[in-house]
Structure 1
Amino acid sequence: MELLLSWLVVLIVLTVCLYCQARSAVTALSLFSALIALAYINSISLLGTTLLFCTGFLVYVFFVFAPLRRNVTTRFFMPWFKRQQSEITPVEQAVLDAGGHWIERELLSGSLSWDKLFKLPVTPLTDHEQHFLDHQVEHLCSLLDDWKICHEDKDLSSEAWDYIKQERFFGIEIDTALGGLGFSPAAHSAIITKIATCSISAAYTVMVPNSLGPAELIHHFGSQEQKQHYLPRLSSGQEIPCFALTGPEAGSDAASLPDRGVICSEEYQGKQVIGVRLNWEKRYITLAPIATLIGLAVHVYDPDNLIGDDQDLGIQVVLVPHDTPGVSQGARHMPMSLGFMNGTLLGNDVFLPLTQVLGTLSSPNQGWMMLLECLSIGRGISMPALSSAVGQQCFKMTSAYCKVREQFNRPIGEFEGVKTALSEIGGLTYLIAATRYVTTEAVVQGAKPSVASVMSKYHLTELSRKILARSMDIHAGHGLQMGPRNLLANVFNGQPISTVGEGANIMTRNLIIFGQGVMRSHPFLKAATQAAYHENQKYALKQFDRHLWCHVKFLSCHFIRGIFSGLTGGSWCNTPSGIDKTIRGYCQKVIRMNHVFIIFTDLTLAILGKQLKVRESISARLGDVFSYLYLLICLLKFYNDEKDKHALPLLSWACDYALSSAYEALEELANNFPKPRLARCLMRLFFPWGRPFYPPKDDLSHQLADWMQESTPLRDRLTQLCYVGDTMMDPVYRLENAFQNILQNHKLFDKVNQGIKEGTIFRGLTRHDTLRHALSKAIINQAEYDLLMACEELRDQACAVDVFDAFNKGFPFSMTVEKTVI
């Protein structure tokens, strides 16, 4: 019994060392100290003490003396690892080399730098950027009539097009010296968000050239001649750009482009030059019908070795003027009946000199790396901006509608079912705002967060889909009737485009978030794989051994921490100093889930290995946990920077939602794990007291919904980029105007309602008759009656829907709206 207790003490000492991530020397010293103490306490004989020390010393030497360890263990383990993990292909290496990483890497390394994150400075908009947002963007929005754009003209008005070109909306981030606006990514995001709250079609028109288009590609990778020639023309709208990647046979699998370019020598403008002869077929290309400069992605070959030794040059980008012989454009798609230009492009034996190739042809797949680098802009800036626009617009319009619309003589926002749906709109909008804020700031700081951008793109577009669904549920019939009054319906129609653009969401979730994220962000996997497949076997064994045993220590540490966090609820996890108590609690919960995620990640890699590429459902669930941990970090950073106690219900709702979603993904992973018994055993170890995280409670949801139906500075700040016109023809203005007037006169409405309760005013009357009766009974005076009648007129106009001539097949708008002056 004494010997058992002795070894238990040794095990505890070892556990503490692993928990604290102690160095090998510290661990050895601690263990030998424990052994000396045990030998003394238990009066172990000299022989027993000697054997104890020899055993401990041999174990220590085995793990610390690398040559012995490599030859006894590692050299047998490396072949198994190579069977499990395939070699990184050149295409995969190009993907991994493109872009960069950010705080998501710390999630897989288990070393979250909370203090560094919370102290990260936030770059505000400059005075010039804010002025542009408040004036030029505001004026552009006033030129946009989304009903006419989508259902009558099928295009932006000529005035809007002229203004976009005049104010250089196509060159938001291009340097001022090259004709652009020279704005920051934060300004870029804000501009797209505000335009999208007015017209999704206009937002796509401005967004695409500023994310993945010729301008961005030339700006980052073009030669000086290309920059000087094209960028001023693109910024001013003299050239209309489009980027052609997707074709009938290559959508999400863009690396398998069938479009070809062959290096050859032909006559061009009277001279014999070496160039590239192009053939392609593209579709789904935004601005293709009107583009004057095409950024074309093709697979280039040099069969005659005219420019080098490589015959397969991989994917390259070629700048194609639209009037080049062989180019065919003009055919148009109609994506979800929106009004932005989108169509097909064909090229038949189009010849261009090598000066039209972007960059140089010095390395294969150079164009593919360019595309991946620029995708972080679309995924990290543009798509989150669109999702933020959906959230802000639905937040503003639906919270107002809940107060304005009445059923059963009560605002519909007082019903618990509506409150639950409304709180989801509020909480998810806050989650989107936080993620957009932090991801954009990463780009501002110079990072190229490829994984975080993919997470943001996928989850924010999916969250905006949920927000729209809840908004349509609340607006009900009011949201279904198409017409100039209904802005929400066009947003609802256009939202699926964002789930497909910049990579289809299904492929993003199942293949990219975790599949690429783990290889980019794991502290040992990529290095161990590269070491194992190194040509020099001696070097390979040495490097693989180093990464392997660092990995073993890393896993042991997080396994111990995961169990301990489960027992204590994460209350002992390290958190940043000087932060709010609420944030500290959520930080501890994030750390707890992070330990579990790391263990399941490495266990999955060990069991499935290269099969993980085809076990997409497993990869998707691990990606969900990974993503929700990142979203939680964004929430905590956002709240800490805002320092607004009034936002605590929003933070609590969003964090509870994200933690619950992460746990549910983990539970689904365990239920579908290749080794289900092992997964269930681990879940019991890490969560010994049962499920730790639940969705937001009803009380919190109802509190949040009640707050959303009040006019507060926080409500205004969360919806500050939602465009509100200044006439009754604007749908958002109509609702917001009615909402504000009803709130301002709520005491008068309370006086009338009290009269109804007391029986002074008859029940069952219309709202207008109720006010007349209240006036006749002297419950309100004439001035109050006029105010309330004006409010009711505003309410009627806000809740009205469009009607059309049933016998006119063109369905012209036949309803007139007059402005009511109060």
Structure 2
Amino acid sequence: MTDSPLDLIGFDSLLTDEERATRDRVRAFVDSDLRPNIARWYDEGVFPREIIQPMGALGLLGMHLQGYGCAGRSAVEYGLAAAELEAGDSGLRTFVSVQGSLAMTAIHTFGSEEQKTEWLPRMARGEAIGCFGLTEPEAGSDPASMRTFARRDGDDWVITGSKRWIGLASIADIAVIWANTDAGIRGFLVPTGTPGFTATPIAQKLSMRASIQCDIVLDEVRVPASAQLPGAEGLRGPFTCLNQARYGIVWGVMGAALDSYRAALAYVQQREVFGKPVAAYQLTQQKLVDMALEIDKGFLLALQLGRLKDAGQLQPHQISVGKLNNARVAIDIAREARAMLGGNGVTLEHSPLRHANNLESVRTYEGTDEVHTLILGNAITGIPAFR
């Protein structure tokens, strides 16, 4: 009996020595620093800021980016790291995604040399935190309808509007804010200490409790012309960052599924009912097999997308294949694993229900099932059905 369903198909043989080494380093960090504490952090509803700089030292922040103190790792290595982090907790993987895939990617891809030099090295070390302000109370799946507006006032920009569900905003040092202008959607770097900028954590969440999501209010926030991201015009800017984050989710959710599977497998092997382990019953074994097969297929899909990404061939609709399939599969596995734990599965002693609750958020953000279905429908038929 192996300890990983990936061994059913020899998944590790598809990875290079360097890729396995990266995965194992992140796994060791999760096991030593995150796993022993996550139930408490989740229960108390706190994000552990003490893990930020150790993550930076491990090269996890902006790890896919080149230069400016970033690790410059491959897409596959980034994906493997995301899976290991989310096996710990979706909220902790989300921190790495918001910092690296969203905020740092926006600066790295669309920023000026001065902006990159000022922010990226500190963000890679975890000494500065970024957030990504796109979603609004009335503009989630349709960011083109955002109401936040930036107007010119002399040499400055003045930004007014609101954002919602913005990860890390209350602890961030710099906010990437997307706003409409007279020339269309543009991106701006807004220091969070700027007058008129307010970030308020969203309370009473049933999901992502070891993570921070906020409401942002921008009340006549004045920034200089140099705050604009010079390379970002229209929705191509935020969508480039979103696709990077969505790619990480393809891997990350399978980490949550695998951790849920392992928890259920360990439990049914030691739990006895009617005189023998629960694992000895046919219905239990069928559930374990079905879960293992879906995990294997999900990781194979993630790896294929990673190889395409490293080759510069990954298309946006292919990311939707991975996000839609793997998020949907992962939440089903987490729920099934919880059921196999019986009543004990509703406590934080076991991970599956925590993962299932978190995956409700992950399945929703960076594109709902419906949005990714429509993206794929458009790819298949050539007919956009968004409206």
* TM-score, L = length of structure 1: 0.43
Equivalent in the alignment of 1:372: 239
1:346 pairs with 2:209: no
| 1:329 and 2:329 correspond | no
- Matches of 2:201 and 2:38 in 1, distance apart? 23
| Counterpart secondary structure, 1:431 | helix
Is the CA contact 2:268–2:279 (under 8 Å) kept in the aligned structure 1?
yes
Q: In 2 relative to 1, CA 429–457 (structure 1 residues): closer, same or farther, beyond 3 Å?
A: same
**Does the Cα contact within 8 Å between 1:195 and 1:203 map onto a contact in 2?**
yes
Amino acid at match of 2:160: N
Asked if the contact 2:172/2:192 (under 8 Å) is kept, the reply is yes
How far apart are 1:157 and its partner, in Å? 5.5
Shift of 1:134: 2.9
CA distance in 1 between counterparts of 2:205 and 2:306 reads: 28
Which among 356, 377, 385 is matched to residue 227 of structure 2? 356
Equivalent residues of 1:325, 1:350 under 8 A apart:
yes
State the shift of 1:219 in Å: 1.4
Counterpart position of 2:173: 292
| Corresponding residue number in structure 2 for 1:200 | 90
Aligned CA distance change for structure 1 residues 137 and 182 (closer, same or farther; 3 Å) = farther
Q: CA deviation at 1:453?
A: 0.3
Give the corresponding residue for 1:402: 268
Q: Which residue of 1 aligns with 2:6?
A: none
Structure with greater proportional strand content: 2
1:224 equivalenced with 2:95 (yes/no) = no
Counterpart in the other structure of 1:477: 343
2:150 alignment counterpart: 261
Q: How does 1:793-804 map to 2 (within 5 A)?
A: none
Measured in 2, the distance between the counterparts of 1:156 and 1:125 equals: 32
**8 Å Cα contact 1:289-1:329 kept in structure 2:** yes
Shift in Å, 1:124? 4.5
Structure 1 residues 415-451: Cα deviation after superposition (integer angstroms, max 9, x where no partner): 2222222222111111111111111111111123100
1:171 aligned counterpart, secondary structure: coil
Q: Distance in 1 between matches of 2:284 and 2:342?
A: 11
Residue 206 of structure 2 aligns to a residue whose secondary structure is: helix
AA partner of residue 185 (structure 2): I
Does structure 2 conserve the Cα–Cα contact (< 8 Å) formed by 1:330 and 1:343?
A: yes
Q: Is residue 281–residue 347 contact of structure 1 (8 Å, CA) maintained in 2?
A: yes
> Which of 296, 315, 328 is the aligned partner of 1:430?
296
Q: CA offsets per residue over residues 731-751 of structure 1, 9 Å max, x none?
A: xxxxxxxxxxxxxxxxxxxxx
Using a 3 Å threshold, how does the CA distance of structure 1 residues 477 and 342 change in structure 2: closer, same or farther?
Answer: same
Counterpart of 1:216, as a letter, is: T
Tell me whether 1:161 sits opposite 2:48 in the alignment: no
Secondary structure, aligned partner of 1:299: strand
Contact map agreement 1:326 1:347 (CA 8 A) in 2: yes
Cα offset for 1:286?
0.6
- Aligned pair partner of 1:449 in 312, 315, 337: 315
Structure 1 segments unaligned to the other structure (5+ residues): 1-121, 266-273, 302-312, 520-604, 615-822
Maintained 8 Å contact 1:289/1:332: no
The gaps in structure 2 that reach 5 residues or longer are: 1-12
Partner of 1:786: none
Q: In structure 1, what is the Cα distance between the partners aligned to 2:161 and 2:304?
A: 39
Aligned to 1:494: 358
Distance in 1, matches of 2:241 and 2:228, equals 17
Residue 252 of structure 1 is matched in structure 2 by 141
**Distance (whole Å) between structure 2 residues aligned to residue 347 and residue 394 of structure 1:** 40
The one of 36, 39, 62 equivalent to 1:147 is 39
C-alpha distance in 1, partners of 2:186/2:380? 25
More helix per residue: 1 or 2? 1
- Aligned mates of 2:75, 2:14 — CA distance in 1: 10
Deviates more, 1:402-411 or 1:320-329: 402-411
Question: How high is the TM-score relative to the length of structure 2?
Answer: 0.89
* Equivalent residues of 2:263, 2:351 under 8 A apart: no
CA distance in structure 2 between the aligned counterparts of 1:327 and 1:418, rounded to whole angstroms: 53
Counterpart code for 1:358: L
Deviation at 1:479, TM superposition (A): 0.9
Q: Matches of residues 412-561 of structure 1 in structure 2 within 5 Å? A: 412-480=278-346, 482-483=347-348, 485-509=349-373, 511-516=374-379, 518-519=381-382
Aligned to 1:173: 64
What letter corresponds to residue 191 of structure 2 in structure 1?
P
Question: Of the two, which has the highest radius of gyration?
Answer: 1
The CA deviation string for residues 454-478 of structure 1, in whole angstroms up to 9 with x for no partner, is 1110111011121122212211112
8 Å CA contact 2:159, 2:220 repeated in 1: yes
Q: CA 1:164–1:448 in structure 2 vs 1: closer, same or farther (change >3 Å)? A: same
Cα distance, 1:131 vs structure 2: 4.3
Paired with 1:299 and 1:149, the residues of 2 have a C-alpha distance of 37
Q: Partner letter of residue 246 of structure 1? A: T
Q: Is the 8 A contact 2:87 2:257 kept in 1?
A: no
Q: Displacement, 1:130?
A: 4.7
- CA deviation after TM superposition for structure 1 residue 192, in Å: 1.3
> How far apart, CA to CA, are the structure 2 residues paired with 1:261 and 1:149?
38
Q: CA deviation at 1:126?
A: 6.1
8 Å contact from structure 1 (residues 320, 356) kept in 2: yes
Question: Which residue is 1:540 aligned to?
Answer: none
Residue 215 of structure 1: CA displacement?
0.7
Give 2:99's match in structure 1, choosing from 173, 190, 209.
209
The whole-number CA distance in structure 2 between the counterparts of 1:330 and 1:264 is 27
Deviations 1:608-666 (A, max 9, x none): xx8x555xxxxxxxxxxxxxxxxxxxxxxxxxxxxxxxxxxxxxxxxxxxxxxxxxxxx
SS at match of 2:39: helix
Contact 1:316 1:358 in 2 (8 A): yes
Query: 1:408, 1:345 → 2: CA distance?
Result: 55
Q: Secondary structure at the match of 1:456?
A: helix
Q: Distance in 1 between matches of 2:185 and 2:46?
A: 34
Deviation at 1:195, TM superposition (A): 1.4
Judge conservation of contact 2:260–2:355 (CA < 8 Å) in 1. Answer: no
* 1:760-780 deviation digits (Å, cap 9, x = unpaired): xxxxxxxxxxxxxxxxxxxxx
Q: For the residues of structure 2 that align with 1:500 and 1:407, how far apart are their CA atoms?
A: 38
Instruction: Show the 5 A alignment for 1:774-813.
Output: none
SS at 1:143's partner residue?
A: helix
Offset, 1:229: 1.7
Q: Please tell me whether the aligned partners of residues 63 and 78 of structure 2 are also in contact (alpha carbons under 8 angstroms).
A: yes
Q: CA deviation at 1:262?
A: 0.8
Question: 1:776 matched to which residue of 2?
Answer: none
> Contact 2:187–2:228 (CA<8 Å) still a contact in 1?
yes
Alpha-carbon shift at residue 334 of structure 1 (Å) = 4.7
Deviation for aligned residue 1:335: 3.7
Larger relative contact order, structure 1 or 2 (CA cutoff 8 Å, min sep 6): 2
The change in CA–CA distance for 1:135 and 1:428 in structure 2 (over 3 A counts) is: closer
1:318 equivalenced with 2:188 (yes/no):
yes
Q: What is the deviation of 1:344?
A: 1.2
With over 3 angstroms needed to count, the CA separation of the structure-2 counterparts of 1:329 and 1:374, relative to structure 1, is closer
Q: Distance in 1 between matches of 2:166 and 2:212?
A: 8
CA distance in 1, matches of 2:250, 2:305: 9
Partners of 2:337 and 2:99 in 1: CA distance: 30
**1:380-779, aligned counterparts within 5 Å?**
380=247, 382-480=248-346, 482-483=347-348, 485-509=349-373, 511-516=374-379, 518-519=381-382
Q: Give the % identical residues.
A: 21
Following superposition, the deviation at residue 294 of structure 1 comes to 0.3
In structure 1, what residue type is equivalent to 2:366? E
Tell me the C-alpha RMSD between the 2 structures: 2.2
Partners of 1:284 and 1:344 within 8 A in 2: yes
CA displacement at 1:201 relative to structure 2: 2.3
Q: Report if aligned partners of 2:136, 2:163 keep a CA contact under 8 Å in 1.
A: yes
The answer to whether the Cα contact below 8 Å between 1:184 and 1:444 also exists between their aligned partners in 2 is yes
Q: Distance between the aligned counterparts of 1:501 and 1:157, measured in 2? A: 22
